[in-house]
Amino acid sequence: MEYIMKSCPICGGKFVVMEDAANEAVYCTLECLSKAEKSMNKVSMKI
Ligand SMILES: [Zn+2]
């Protein structure tokens, strides 16, 4: 199984994911995922 190093767009941290999951895994933790969702909601509310 291949592993890919990615960087989280929220906290900037590096994390490793399996190649199969690399397209789905964008954020290093669920905490960062929920932060991203909250900020997306704020953006859509402004529009
Ligand atoms: Zn993160």
Residue 7 vs residue 40, higher pLDDT? 7
Confidence of residue 7 (pLDDT cuts 50, 70, 90): very high
pLDDT in tens, 16-45: 999 999 988 999 999 999 999 998 877 666
Query: How far apart are the CA of 13 and the centre of ligand 1, in A?
Result: 5
Is there a contact between 28 and 41 (Cβ–Cβ < 8 Å)?
Answer: no
pTM exceeds 0.75 for this model? no
The stretch 6-16 carries a mean pLDDT of 96
Domain that holds residue 31: 3-46
Query: How far apart are the CA of 20 and the centre of ligand 1, in A?
Result: 20
pLDDT of residue 16: 96
pLDDT of residue 41: 79
Count the domains in the chain. 1
Query: How far apart are the CA of 3 and the centre of ligand 1, in A?
Result: 18
Distance between CA atoms of residues 44 and 17, nearest Å: 29
Task: Give 1-47 as a DSSP string.
Answer: --EEEEE-TTT--EEEEEGGGTTT--SSSHHHHHHHHHHHHHHHHH-
Query: How far apart are the CA of 19 and the centre of ligand 1, in A?
Result: 18
